[in-house]
Chain A
Amino acid sequence: MAEPVDPIAGLPEASRRYGEVGPHSNAPRWGMVVDQERCIGCWSCGVICKSENDVPLGMWWNRILTEGEALDTPTADHGRLEMHWLPLACQHCDNAPCVKVCPVGATYHGDGGLVLQDSERCIGCRYCMVACPYGVRTFNWGAPDRPTDFDTGMVPPRPVGTVEKCTMCVHRLADGQVPSCVWSCPAQARIFGDVADPESRVNQLVRDREGERLLEERGTEPKVWFLPPRRRRGL
């Protein structure tokens, strides 16, 4: 029997360097930038999230919405076809509606401002799902259904009858590695970093590219910014 290997410590050197969180302030607040210009709607981030976190069939912590008529289908805007993608997972709001409404405090703000879920405390009332404007929370309705007949991924499965959602891969952050969706984005459209540091790449991008947050008017103060697609220049 071989010695067990930690999936982060055991990474090949070059791979581990690729995934390092990088410099951050002393009191980091973790956030993310998603570049809609670069996003190609491939769902790699959604799939690796599912894999990393052992999310059963029918449930997605991270999904890629199409700004269009249907999945990967454009809308006609003044006769011109338009389509963009909007990857959506937990926005880790500073003013999180879910944290406010959870009756038992099972949803809470952890270190770095992450919105986390204590699966052992959750009673499964689903009020957080009602309160979340982003529809990113999912409930374990029944016994998990998996395409493989064994558990996959890097974290334990959550119990039936509780709510789960994106953790910003907090189990990887603990070892200084970016969330898996950031690692696996082949379009290099996701940038992770410390929003408390004004000079972080995340903040620079938000400034330079006029990043916006989703449903900003609802005051949820999300920590995910979207860089809007560029204007089409024609011929």
Chain B
Amino acid sequence: MPTVSMTVNGKAVSGEVEGRTLLVEFLREHLGLTGTHVGCDTSQCGACTVHVDGVSMKSCAMLALQAEGAEIATIESVADGDTLHPMQEAFRQNHGLQCGFCTPGMVMTALALVKGNPNPTEADVRHGLEGNLCRCTGYQNIVKAVLDGAKAMRS
């Protein structure tokens, strides 16, 4: 089997994978990083969103071997120990989650959005979240959370 090497959350990792091994399978099953979720497995829900070389991608729509040499950031890299990242704290404060299944993808998407657009409008946030589905909240509180999180990150 081929070997793949990449940097995940700042740490060099490698492993033997099949050609068909998805990046999300490598993260979850080989590295035990189960914070990245598989929601739909049809590349529509965005629960598996991670950062690949700084931009958001669906790790269920990418082969592990395609990430050779890449820098991957998952939800596990976001909090500082027990201290939530301001974006995570904003989700908590705004009730931006109910069951929480979509939340890792929402947070990773929000962080990618804010990186490119530190002061997004509500419309920017709604457009930016088009690739992430939530079946609980109806999005209102997620949008509020992203706007609040962005504000907290600016200050």
* A, B co-complexed: no
